[in-house]
A and B are shown apart, each in its own frame.
Chain A
Amino acid sequence: MSDQFPAEDLEDLYETAPCGYVSVSPDGRIVRANRTLSDWLGWKPGELLGKPLNDILAFGGRIAVETHLAPLLRMQGHVHEIALDLLTAGGEKIPTIANAAEKRDTGGGHLFTRLTLFKAVDRRAYERSLLDAKARAERESRAHGEAALAREQFIAVLGHDLRNPVAALAAGIRLLRQREQISDRGRSILSEMEKSAARASNLIDEVLDLARGSLGGGLIVERNADAPLTPVLEQVIAEMRVVAPEHAIEARLDIDEPLHCDRGRIGQLASNLLANAVTHGAVDQPIRFEAASDGEHFVLSVANAGEPIPEQARGRLFQPFFRGDARPSRNGLGLGLFIASEIAKAHGGSLDVSSTAEETRFTFTMPSAVPSAD
């Protein structure tokens, strides 16, 4: 075997290289071009000399050379990977990728600009298809966003409009119970109807809270220390004892009043946690409701006995529409814990869960100090 390589012919390399070479004077005229390029363009070798570079560029490229390429070359001496369309003698376009560099003399004077051009027909087609796909994805994502927004708005409006008839039903039931002669059996039916109306009203509130949250309004929380929280929580517990008489609820309240919070919302949080305990807790053991505060924190927790929450379900508990088990729930849409955790966040606090064979406990913690105004 021979170690001798045939000598490379540099003149031939320039002329027939698998890329186009063109050198341009500072005033934009072609001073040299290789044969590869003149072949691509359909000119005879030599015919390109003296022509303005613009003559072999498609229109977009001409503007780009003036507005982008020339300034960049002056400032940094080179530009890489610009997509340039060439124009053949017959007026057809050839997509290329160009690198360019200024050749300067020792004093920094601009002698000429060298361009190296690679045909990029397939690459350009691929890039265009990428751009098309991107534009399409953006359009679809916008359309999805709009559809989702319309849905949320629909839900918000529907929820809002449902409130009034449900309130009218509840008022009617109350009137019947207070003012009319009704049999014992009728009373027990009215009592069931009242619970149903209350549940419907809660569901509507939850849906409205969710829609408001997704519409960007977030949960509105109005915090003040104008009144004590304890009576609000006592009311929530009393209502739950009426709704779920089969469960014993042991309550212990020890709150350093007044607490700076949105009492209505904290009441809603407590109500949602109790409703959750009633739904999932074992009936033969009491639900323990505790709320206490010291100088630093307010802690509210609700614990129940029963099946522990599976490990893999815990991460999703606070997501909207999550329901732990498939059995038909008495209680709704799976929004209660989500809304409770939103209320916790809006108070600068958190809602956590622990679940063992002995008990499942949800604990809401928030700072009890008045947040400094900012």
Chain B
Amino acid sequence: MEVSAEAVLRRNNVHVSGSGTRTIMFAHGFGCDQSMWEPVARTFDHDFRVVLFDYVGHGGSDLNAYDAERYSSLTGYARDVVEIGRALGLRSAIFVGHSVSAMIGAIASLEAPEMFSDLVMVGPSPRYIDDEGYRGGFSRDQIDELLQFLADNHLGWSAAMAPAIMGNPDRPELGERLENSFCRTDPEIARDFARVTFLSDNRGDLAAIQARTLILQCSSDIIAPMEVGEYVHANVPDSVFRLLRATGHCPNLSAPEEVAAAIREFV
């Protein structure tokens, strides 16, 4: 079924800003929404067309558009990316994906090769669970524990993600978005997304990636450990590996300047 461009842009809460001939699209990872790209994205506004969006079930997306079957694999999320790209007429654009979005972007670039000429993967992992001859960093038991954790936070998350979150006086640039929502996630959808994310295995897709690819690896990232980043680098044909000084899994928030500079240098 063909969805109209307008419907797609509304469904995924797409925001287009900036001015430039090239388009750079930022995609959030598991657990957050487009606001996590805000600090990095704003540094591209003056010379790029900047696209931000939320996956269905996250942030300001249309919760009613959630379809458990469509989103039962990363391919469904990648289809959303391709639909957004088509709605905006993207060609040879840059896709920046955080965490699970790195693989979603890779799948999207395979589905629509003309759409993205450059991929930036921030903390990518093609498979989280260890396998024979492969270390993803997680055991199956740990993933089950994570899913249980999300269930336990069913009550907590709803409250924590509620729109009533107060503004933050010492970061006024975030004020306006804060009023509305922050990383608001529907708890049921968050659980589905966690399952899809942490049980995914996209190792087979890496070798087919045609786009120029930059891998941004964080220091001491428990979600996407160093050797996973190196594995991605070794398997994506035209790829550059770059180790960030930033620690943890969200350098776009903890070290936005470093991430922005690395992306700029690459494109």
Asked whether any CB of chain A lies closer than 8 Å to the CB of B160, the reply is yes
Can you list 11 residue pairs at the A/B interface with Cβ under 8 Å? A54-B222, A59-B142, A59-B146, A60-B148, A64-B150, A68-B183, A72-B183, A75-B183, A76-B174, A77-B170, A108-B171
Q: Using Cβ atoms and an 8 Å threshold, which residues of chain B touch A108? A: 170-171
Q: Using a CB-CB cutoff of 8 Å, which residues 58-78 of chain B contact chain A? A: none
Looking at A68, A77, A95, the one whose CB has the most chain B CB atoms below 10 A away is A68
By a beta-carbon cutoff of 8 Å, the part of chain A in contact with chain B is: 26-28, 54, 58-64, 66-68, 70-72, 74-77, 79-83, 85, 95, 97, 104, 108, 110, 124, 127-128, 130-131
Q: Which residue of A lies closest to B256 (CB)?
A: A74
Residue pair A71, B150 in contact (C-beta under 8 Å): no
Residue pair B36, A81 in contact (C-beta under 8 Å): no
- Choose among B29, B32, B156 the residue that contacts A81 (Cβ–Cβ < 8 A): B156
User: How many A-B contacts if CB must be within 8 Å?
Assistant: 116
Residue pair B248, A66 in contact (C-beta under 8 Å): yes
A contacts with B: majority SS:
helix
A152 nearest CB across to chain B (Å): 25
Distance between Cα atoms of A104 and B171 in the complex (Å): 11
Residue pair A67, B182 in contact (C-beta under 8 Å): no
Distance between Cα atoms of A128 and B155 in the complex (Å): 10
Instruction: Kindly list 10 other residue pairs between chains A and B, CB separation below 8 angstroms, not including A27-B220, A62-B222, A70-B254.
Output: A63-B223, A66-B249, A67-B99, A68-B31, A71-B32, A71-B250, A75-B36, A75-B168, A75-B183, A83-B149
B156 nearest CB across to chain A (Å): 5
B81 nearest CB across to chain A (Å): 20
- Choose among A58, A74, A79 the residue that contacts B160 (Cβ–Cβ < 8 A): A79
Residue pair B156, A74 in contact (C-beta under 8 Å): no
Known contacts: A60-B148, A83-B152. The answer to whether A70 contacts B249 by CB under 8 A is: yes
Distance between Cα atoms of A72 and B221 in the complex (Å): 17
Q: Using Cβ atoms and an 8 Å threshold, which residues of chain B touch A27? A: 220, 247-248
Distance between Cα atoms of A54 and B248 in the complex (Å): 11
Distance between Cα atoms of A209 and B36 in the complex (Å): 54
Q: Which residue of A lies closest to B100 (CB)?
A: A67
B179 nearest CB across to chain A (Å): 11
Distance between Cα atoms of A58 and B231 in the complex (Å): 27
Known contacts: A67-B249, A70-B253. The answer to whether A59 contacts B145 by CB under 8 A is: yes
Q: Using Cβ atoms and an 8 Å threshold, which residues of chain A touch B36? A: 71, 75
Asked whether any CB of chain A lies closer than 8 Å to the CB of B267, the reply is no
Q: Which residue of A lies closest to B174 (CB)?
A: A75
Distance between Cα atoms of A107 and B29 in the complex (Å): 29
Residue pair B149, A63 in contact (C-beta under 8 Å): yes
Residue pair B253, A127 in contact (C-beta under 8 Å): no
Distance between Cα atoms of A204 and B214 in the complex (Å): 69
Q: Using Cβ atoms and an 8 Å threshold, which residues of chain B touch A127? A: 152, 154-155
Q: Using Cβ atoms and an 8 Å threshold, which residues of chain A touch B142? A: 59
A117 nearest CB across to chain B (Å): 13
Q: Using Cβ atoms and an 8 Å threshold, which residues of chain B touch A97? A: 156
Instruction: Encode contact with A along B151-173: 1 for CB under 8 Å, 0 otherwise.
Output: 11111110110000110101100
